[in-house]
Amino acid sequence: MPTSRENNKLIAKNTLFLYARMLIMMAISLYTSRVILNTLGVVDYGINNVVGGVVAMFGFLNGAMSTSIQRYITFELGRGDMVALKRIFTTSIQISTIIGILIVILSETIGLWFFYNKMVMPAERMDAAFWVLQLSIISTFVAIMSYPYNADIIAHEKMDVFAYISLLEAVLKLLVVYLLVILDFDKLILLSFMWLCVQLLIRFIYNSYCTHHFEESKLIRVFDRKLIKEMFSFAGWNLWGNLAGVLFSQGLNMLLNMFFGPVVNAARAVAVQVEGAIMQFSSNFQTALNPQITKTYAQNDLQSMHKLIYRSSKYSFMLLLLLSLPVMIEATAILKLWLKIVPEWTEIFFRIIICTSIIDAVARPLMVAAAATGDVKVYQSVVGGILLSILPLSYVVLKLGGNPASVFIVHLIVCIIAFIVRLYIIRPMIHLSISDYMRRVVLRCLIIAACSVVVPMALYKLLDDSFLSVCTVCLVSVLSVAVCSFFIGLSINERCFILSKVETIIHKRLD
């Protein structure tokens, strides 16, 4: 069994691989978003975002099973039972096939009905939007069939491989954008077709790597009804949480389309793109840490599990604040610099969305811990029920005359309530001390945020709107968060560890 020191080294190594991957992918993603927006135009960009969302609305089915597959593979790896692992992987492929076919059926029936009867878009773009929908359905099916292989790589903590394949995917998407600009064809349809080609190639690579390196990924003749029922039962309670996730993302996107049209969808798409780039910093760190949370539970080492949860929540907050604070303060200037066209409402959408995402990122280790126990009935039914209220509440607010930003404010308030409820549900499941969590995570994060924002906001108010002023505010924001995180966010032991590592590196350089 690996020691705590070995696990920490593995986490650090995997985190470095994921961050290298993320930095390149973020640069490519931000560049391609700009080119796609300017090539398609605001209306087609909004159509591409909202039509793809029709298929994504049914993604809660796959999301629920994905959580189940990830948990079962990681858990059996923690126990070291290869026979059970082989049965789980083959069963995961069978379940993914069932889910994929079900989503195709729902998309071609309910999805098509919603597309023709509820969505708002220019009549002359309906044919192009239809083909975007069909290609999105196929792409979704391919992605679903890839998930067991992705989960296997992550469960084995082969983050270098995961990073290399993801980087290849990012480079291929860069090629897609280049072809989108030079080829003379309907840009909206062409983009969706080329996205599908990328999905097919990446799915083949994941399949090939796992088959050659992981014994359990070689499919066996088995149809374990009991295991299928058990995994579906686990996923059934996750269904609520994933349904809520889809409804407050794609559902709100549909609401915005119904009330305000595709231009507002374009604003949301841009805001989500920037938010997604920033969120990669915490998701990469958590991707490296999550298997360890599950494995420590499988080994009944709850004390180590609690420490991993505290670190994951706290470090995720500090990383996200480090990146998001300068962008939130200087959102208008940065968006104008990044994009030639900045859709109306983009700035306010981004500011609210990033606050919500930070709360979700801090709470995510609690979700992983709940999944590790295998007993998610109460957790998912209660938390999912709270999150499901976002869509009807947003609809009521819009009906009463709310502006487009009001739906994101509703989302933010409900997520704060859900975060508090999560703590009280998870406490007895893993014997977590709420007072310790509040003291070591929540209180420190609030103090860091309050202290970090003072100097950058003062400069923002005092300085003019020049490029030099924007750079100054951003630099001071980063330094402010870094200093506050070091002295307030880290414990004495953590500060001593970092200083010793820095000292070692300096001595090596001098020698």
The model's confidence at residue 271, banded by pLDDT at 50, 70 and 90, is: confident
| 228/93 Cα distance (integer angstroms) | 11
| 287/298 Cα distance (integer angstroms) | 18
Question: Are residues 210 and 150 in contact, defined by beta-carbon separation less than 8 angstroms?
Answer: no
Summarize pLDDT for 228-241 with one digit per residue, the tens: 777 776 666 566 66
Please tell me what DSSP assigns to residue 214: -
Question: Are residues 381 and 238 in contact, defined by beta-carbon separation less than 8 angstroms?
Answer: no
pLDDT of residue 446: 94
Closest CA to 282 of 328, 313, 242: 313
pLDDT of residue 87: 85
Closest CA to 274 of 334, 188, 321, 359: 334
| 493/9 Cα distance (integer angstroms) | 17
User: What's this model's pTM, rounded to 2 decimal places?
Assistant: 0.68
Summarize pLDDT for 358-399 with one digit per residue, the tens: 898 898 888 888 878 877 777 777 887 888 888 889 999 999
Taking only Cα atoms into account, the Rg of the chain, rounded to an integer number of angstroms, comes to 23
pLDDT of residue 1: 47
Section 454-472 average pLDDT: 89
pLDDT of 458 higher than 90: yes
Strands (E) located in 155-225: none
Look over the chain and give the mean of its residue pLDDT values, rounded to a whole number: 80
What tokens were used for 304?
A: 């180590």
Among 58-62, 110-114, 165-169, 299-303, which stretch is predicted with the lowest mean pLDDT?
A: 58-62
Closest CA to 111 of 71, 162, 55, 69: 55
Section 104-112 average pLDDT: 85
Question: Are residues 365 and 314 in contact, defined by beta-carbon separation less than 8 angstroms?
Answer: no
pLDDT of 337 higher than 60: yes
Section 303-317 average pLDDT: 88
Q: Is the dihedral of CA 137, 140, 146, 147 positive or negative?
A: negative
pLDDT of 253 higher than 90: no
| 198/505 Cα distance (integer angstroms) | 41
Section 342-358 average pLDDT: 86
Q: pLDDT above 90 covers what percent of the chain?
A: 13
Closest CA to 106 of 143, 137, 128, 132: 137
Question: Are residues 338 and 468 in contact, defined by beta-carbon separation less than 8 angstroms?
Answer: no
Would you mind telling me the total number of residues written for the chain in this entry?
511
Summarize pLDDT for 55-93 with one digit per residue, the tens: 666 555 555 566 667 777 777 777 777 787 888 888 888
Interior CA angle at 484 toward 479 and 488, to 5°?
A: 160
